[in-house]
Amino acid sequence: RKEVEQDPGPFNVPEGATVAFNCTYSNSASQSFFWYRQDCRKEPKLLMSVYSSGNEDGRFTAQLNRASQYISLLIRDSKLSDSATYLCVVSETGNQFYFGTGTSLTVIP
Name the site residues for another protein (rule: CB under 8 A). Answer: 32, 34, 42-46, 49, 87, 91, 94-102
Give the shortest CB-14-to-another protein separation in angstroms: 26
The nearer residue to another protein, 48 or 75, going by C-beta atoms, is: 48
Contact 102, 85 (CB under 8 A): yes
Return all residues near 96 (Cβ < 8 A) that are at least 6 apart: none
Strand partners, 98: 90
Give the shortest CB-87-to-another protein separation in angstroms: 7
Cα 101 to Cα 18, 24, 88, 97, 98, distances in angstroms = 22, 12, 8, 13, 10
The nearer residue to another protein, 71 or 78, going by C-beta atoms, is: 71
The nearer residue to another protein, 70 or 99, going by C-beta atoms, is: 99
Give the shortest CB-103-to-another protein separation in angstroms: 11
